[in-house]
Amino acid sequence: MKGKNLQLIFGISVLILILTSAFALEAYAEELLVQKTLALWHFDEIQTPDATENENIGILGGNPPPTPVEGKFGKALSFDGNNFVYVPYAPNLYTPDEVTIEAWIYVTGFKDTPYNNILVIAYRAGLEWTTTTRICGISLTPCGKAAQASKAYLRGYVYTDKEHFNEIITIDPLIPLNQWIHVAFVRSLSTGMHLYVDGEEVKTNVTWGVKN
């Protein structure tokens, strides 16, 4: 990874998206979670520190930046569709094969785009997007016109300069407005790509490439 760049970007497209990564776990369970997690942001304070020992601190961006609000567990950050949190390059975040992305979200509206991104991970050989070697992310697609949509489909995708673009989307629009929902995207080398809503795997279709 020498000379590579990595960015994690949260909440860059959803109109008003509140995320929190806090979990109501017993102390021993939370410790186990942290040990197996490359990065964990609770988004319960402005500095967005990493709850793991990897120290990948999130940086607030946009004018104005995301604002603190009441969350699912304590505080959270609210995004207006133009602001975001990003994490600069860090070797300990490199996931060349398998990856799991998860978040608690509370969506109050959608932007008129197929990709209302929740989180995007991008690896680049240089500073320009044209040097991107790998992207993976999880996003929402409004059901119908964004202004009238009350639900959204959940997408998960992986792009590499060797495997190209692979993406899955839920068969049904499972993400409602104004409700806390836990979402997750898993890419496994043995079983392919999977999407989860509130801890349950949901049925998906392949929109691009293959499911693995």
DSSP string, 100-137: EEEEEEEE----SSS-EEEEEEEEESSSSGGGEEEEEE
pLDDT value of residue 74? 84
pLDDT value of residue 154? 97
Q: Residue 165 corresponds to which tokens in the numbers above? A: 């673009």
Phi, psi of 40 (to 5 degrees): -145, 115
Percent of the chain scored above 70 by pLDDT? 76
- Residue range 120-174, pLDDT digits in tens: 887 766 656 666 677 889 999 999 888 889 999 999 998 876 668 889 999 999 9
Task: Judge whether residue 98 has pLDDT over 90.
Answer: no
CATH-assigned architecture of domain 5-208:
Sandwich (2.60)
In the structure, what pLDDT confidence band is assigned to residue 9 with cuts at 50, 70 and 90?
Answer: very low
> Mean of the pLDDT values across residues 95-109?
85
pLDDT value of residue 204? 96
Residues forming beta bridges with residue 122, ordered by sequence position? 7, 135
Q: Domain map of the chain by residue range? A: 5-208
* Residue 66, preceding peptide bond in cis (omega within 30° of 0): no
CA–CA separation, 123 and 126 (whole Å): 9
Please, are residues 176 and 159 in contact by the beta-carbon 8 Å criterion?
Answer: no
In the structure, what pLDDT confidence band is assigned to residue 21 with cuts at 50, 70 and 90?
Answer: very low
